Structure 1
Amino acid sequence: MTVAVRGPLSDALREKIIAVCDAKLASKGPGVGLSFYAFFANKNDTPGLLIEVATWWIQTQQLDHFEKASKIKQLVQAQ
């Protein structure tokens, strides 16, 4: 499956996603999966960023609810 990269994420969000993916990969190994909610606290104080990630994840990339952290990191780094 080829995933098209449309609209880039903000630099701050890209850095946050990569950091979370790195932490999950380091603690749980290469098979760890996550959802876009992994980038936010339970009480989200940044709804704009949540919408940005949700739009990128669901509409732009058309990803499943859970994806491998390594795949997400690769997609983000490709932007």
Structure 2
Amino acid sequence: MTAELKAKIIHVCNTKIAQKGENVGLSFYAFFANKNDNPKVLMEAATWWIQTHQLDHFEKAVKIRDLVR
């Protein structure tokens, strides 16, 4: 995973946790706009989420942030 994507994931997780608390869940789509403007990065995140870690569709933001770190 690229350093840019890691930083984006950590930022989004931290923002969601600050807004909604430590039990907030999210999917890998939370890191992207509603349009598919960068399919390569979307696939990178999807591969990491689904194939590498076999995560459920929604996971706790705290868990995702810790995995990325």
TM-score range, shorter chain: over 0.9
1:31 aligned onto 2:31: no
Higher helix content, 1 or 2: 2
**Superposition misfits of 4+ residues, deviation over 6 angstroms:** none
Tell me, in whole angstroms, the C-alpha distance in 1 between the residues paired with 2:36 and 2:26.
Answer: 17
Taking structure 1 as the reference length, the TM-score comes to: 0.86
Structure 1 segments unaligned to the other structure (5+ residues): 1-8
Taking structure 2 as the reference length, the TM-score comes to: 0.98
The number of residues matched between the two structures is: 69
Deviations 1:29-61 (A, max 9, x none): 000000000000001211100000000000000
Identity of aligned residues (%): 67
Structure of larger gyration radius: 1
